[in-house]
Every structure is written in structure tokens, then in C-alpha cells.
Amino acid sequence: MTIKPRRAVLPGRFQPVHKGHIEVIKWALERVDELIIVIGSAQESHTFENPFTAGERMLMIREALREINVDFSRIYIVPVPDIQVNSIWVSYLRSLLPPFDTGISRNPLVIRLFREAGLRVLKPPVYSRSEYSGTRIRELMLAGAPWEEYVPKSVASIIKSLDGISRLREVVKKE
């Protein structure tokens, strides 16, 4: 008899991927067989809230997971554009992703939508929120303050190779 794998969906914007996200992913992998990491707001890029494209975020997640020797046979990384209708978002995810029975998030809207759709919900603990927050890291980047220590080494290299700090400064001027 084959045992059905426990497969969970973990949505995030990952703007940028930071060490808090990596801790959440490690926590999740201790609790489920397979993890679908959804790169949410995939249509967004080149703004202060969402500076990086879905493809750039995919690369960041992949390289950060390679750094910690994650078994990629347990991982899916899928970019998903937002839709306007929150009430059908989980059905929309079901139409795009492998089957999943668990949702992992700390975001209150996401948790609510998962619960209403009947998913098992796992809420990870907070990992040093004062350091590991996408908004804070983007603000440090803008201020010219050190930010590299809050993201995995590979993510810092990717951001530098993309000229990410100049991008952030230039799009803020436009906003």
C-alpha cells in the first residue's frame, strides 16, 4: 500500500528571501513530506514593496536552499500571480499546484483563506522578526546600511549581481 505524501503549500512574496524565510522552510520540512513554495505576487517587480521579479526570487530560493543542502526532490518552487478575488484564491492555487492538504503561513488573511478551504494549517514560530523582515531589509538597503547579514550568502550575491540596490533606489524615486 502506498502512503499518501503530506504535501504543504507555503506562500510568500520573498522580497527578498531572508534568513527568517529559510528557518520557516526548515521548520516546514520537519513536518511534511513535500513542500510547495509559492512565489506570490509573481506579476510584481520594480517597486519598493516588490523589487524583484518572480524569476529572480525563484533563483534566490533555489540557491539559498542549495546552501543548506536541502533535498530538492521534496521541493516545488512555483510563481503564482495574484488574483482579485480572495474567496477563490485557494481553488486557484489548487488549479496550478500539485495536490496539497496543508497550508503553512503566519499571514492572517492567508490562514483565514486556508481554513475556509478546509486545509490543515501549520503556523511557524517567529524567527527574530526585528532582524528578519523583508520591509526592514529593503529599508536598510535604501539607507545604505548593512543588510547582507540578514539574508543567506547566495541571496546577497544574487542581489548584488542584479544591481538590486540601485534598482530599489531608482524605483523609489519614481514612486
At closest approach, how far in Å is the CB of 135 from ligand NAP?
8
Compute CA distances 66 → 10, 70, 98, whole Å.
18, 6, 22
- At which residue does the C-alpha cell 478546509 appear? 118
Closest CB 128 distance from ligand NAP, rounded Å? 6
Min dist CB 49 to ligand NAP, Å, is 10
Q: For 85, how many CA atoms within 13 A lie in the half-sphere containing its CB?
A: 6
Which amino acid, residue 95? S
Which of 132, 147 has the CB closer to ligand NAP? 132
Phi, psi of 32 (to 5 degrees): -135, 165
Task: From residue 15, give the alpha-carbon distance in Å to each of 1, 5, 52.
Answer: 42, 30, 6
Quote the least distance from Cβ 99 to ligand NAP, whole Å: 19
Taking the least distance from each CB to ligand NAP, the nearer of 100 and 132 is 132
Interacting residues toward ligand NAP by CB under 6 A: 11-14, 20-21, 24, 40-41, 82-83, 86, 89, 105-107, 109-110, 113, 124, 126-129, 132-134
**Residue number with CB closer to ligand NAP (68 or 83):** 83
User: What's at 59, amino acid-wise?
Assistant: L
